[in-house]
Amino acid sequence: MPSSTQTYAYLRSSAVRESAAGRTLALETSGGATPAGAAANPRFFSGFLTEPVPSAVALLAVADVAATRYYMPRASYSLDPVVTANGDRLRFESFSGCCGVYARLDVLAPGLDGDEVGHGTTNVDVNLPLRRALARLGGMDPLHLVVGPEALEVKTFDGRFVEKKVPLPERWVRGFAEAQVLAAGFELRAEVPAAEAAAVLRALPKSSGARATHWVVPAGRTLRPVSRPAPGAICLPGPERLLTLRQVLRHASALRVYAPIAAGQDAAAVAWEMALPGMRLTLMLSQDASRGFSGEGGVLNDLATGSAADDAELVSVLLAWEPRVDVAELARQADLPPERVRAALTVLGTGGQIGYDLAEEAYFHRSLPYSAGRVEAYNPRLKGARALVGEGSVRLDGALASVGEGDHAQVVRTDEEGRLSCTCLWWAKYRGGRGPCKHALAVRMVRDAMAEEAR
C-alpha cells in the first residue's frame, strides 16, 4: 500500500484549559488551505459551543474512528481529524486506519455562538490527553471553543511547535474521493426516534467477522433485523463498526439511515446519521469490513470522461468554500450541462476538494491539508485504460467492442441503456460492483472521443 509521511506542525498541543473565565476547548491547527492561500496555522473560530457536552462526545467519536482499525486491528498511528470551516459551520472528518469507516461531525450554526466562522481546511490536533479531557467533560458550565491559535498566543512561541510525523496511506486520501461519490447515490431509507435508535444500536453484535453482513428493514418507528435481503432491506456490513455511535445516544434526538435505493441481494455501503442538538454525526461504512472505500472505483467513469479534467479547472475557480454547492447554479455560471458539472466535481473530489452532505443532499467545498494530487496515478484501471487507447487496442463494432490483442482480447458490450459489460475476469468477479474494468473504461474513452469529434 503506497504511503507518504504526513507532518503536522502545531504551535502547541490542543487541550481543555481552565481559567477564571471558564473552560476553553483549544483545538490547534496545522498547515491548511484558506481563501487567501496556504496558512501554517489558520484560525477559523472563537466562541462558545451551545451544547458543550454533546459536542465534546461527538468530537471524541470522530477521533475514535481516526484511531481505530476495524479490519485486522493492530496498533497504528492516529491520523488527526480534518476540519473545514464553511462560513456558517465547522465540519470535522476522519477515516479509520483501515479506510473502511468515514466519520463526520457537522457543527451547525445553532451549535456555535461567537465570532463569524472562517473559511478553509486544516488538521486539528487530537492527542491522548485531550481525548481523556473530552471524555471527562460534564456539567452545565459553558465551553469556549477556539479553532486555531489566537494571534497573541502565536507571538509568544518564538517558533517552537509540536510536530507529529505519521504515515499517510494513499488509500486514506483516495477514500475521500470514493466516499463522496457513493454518498451522492444514497437516499434516506429510515428515520427512527432516539429511544428506538438506542435499542437498535445496543442490539448490534460486538464482533461478527470481517465479511459478516446483516440486514434490517424499517418497521414502524424502529428497524427490525432480518436474516437475509428482503424488499426494502438495508444492508449493515460489519455492523460492529457502528458501535462508536453508542457514546452519543443520550444526546441524540433521532437516527437517520442512508443507503442505495436498489442494492438488491448484494452487500452495499451505508451511512448512519445521529441528529444531535445543533449538530449531525455521520458514520459511513464500506461495503464490507475487509474492504476500504479506496478500492470502490466509483470515480473512474467520471475520470475517464474526456472533458472532465478541463471542466474541473473551470468549476474549481467558481467554488468558494460554500457549505452547500448548488450544481444547477454552478452549471449556469460555468455554462455547462449539470451532468458535466457533476463529473467535474468528481474529478475535484479526487483532490479532496469536494465532500457530500447527505442531510442536505448537496456537495460542499473543502481542500485537504495535504497533497492529494496523485490520486489519479493510484487508479491502475484508469492507467491501464489509457494505455489500451494509446496503443490503438480498441476496435468498435456497433454495440460490441474488442479490446486487446490475440488471446488477450476481451469483448465489451453496450446495452440499450448505455451500460457496459465485459468478458474479463474483473467483470466476472465483481459485475460492476467495484466500478468498471479497464477494458470498459477504454471503450468509453474511445466512444466519448468519437462523439466529441462528431459535434
Examine the pLDDT at 120 and tell me if it is beyond 50.
yes
Provide the percentage of residues in the chain whose pLDDT is more than 70.
Answer: 89
Residue-level pLDDT at 368: 83
Name which residue leads in pLDDT, 231 or 262: 231
**Range with lowest mean pLDDT among 80-89, 258-267, 348-357:** 258-267
HSE of 82, CA atoms in CB hemisphere, 13 A: 25
Residue-level pLDDT at 168: 73
CB contact at 8 A, 323 and 280: no
From residue 257, give the alpha-carbon distance in Å to each of 221, 222, 270, 302, 377: 13, 11, 7, 27, 34
Examine the pLDDT at 305 and tell me if it is beyond 80.
no
pLDDT in tens, 217-247: 999 889 998 888 888 899 998 899 999 999 9
Residue 450: pLDDT band (50, 70, 90) is confident
Which residues, in sequence order, are CB contacts of 18 under 8 Å at separation 6+? none
CA triple 164-166-167, angle to 5 deg: 165
Distance CA 35, CA 17 (A): 30
The predicted model gives 447-454 an average pLDDT of: 81
Examine the pLDDT at 104 and tell me if it is beyond 70.
yes
* Residue type at position 160: R
Distance CA 2, CA 212 (A): 28
CB contact at 8 A, 250 and 211: no
From residue 104, give the alpha-carbon distance in Å to each of 57, 71, 82, 108: 13, 20, 9, 12
DSSP alpha helices (H): ranges in 275-366? 300-303, 308-318, 327-334, 338-349
Examine the pLDDT at 451 and tell me if it is beyond 90.
no
Residue-level pLDDT at 210: 52
Examine the pLDDT at 14 and tell me if it is beyond 80.
yes
DSSP alpha helices (H): ranges in 186-246? 194-202
pLDDT in tens, 376-427: 566 778 888 889 999 999 999 989 999 998 878 999 999 888 889 999 988 8
Examine the pLDDT at 281 and tell me if it is beyond 90.
yes
pLDDT in tens, 325-362: 989 999 999 999 998 898 888 888 877 889 999 999 99
Examine the pLDDT at 10 and tell me if it is beyond 60.
yes
Handedness of CA 326, 328, 332, 335 (dihedral sign): positive
The pTM of this model reads 0.85
The predicted model gives 10-27 an average pLDDT of: 90
CATH 1.10.1660 fits 178-295, yes or no: no
Residue-level pLDDT at 158: 42
**In which residue ranges of the chain is CATH 3.10.150 found?**
178-295
CB contact at 8 A, 276 and 250: no
Supply the DSSP symbol for 55.
H
Residue-level pLDDT at 74: 65
Residue 159: pLDDT band (50, 70, 90) is very low
Examine the pLDDT at 23 and tell me if it is beyond 50.
yes
3-class DSSP state of 360:
coil
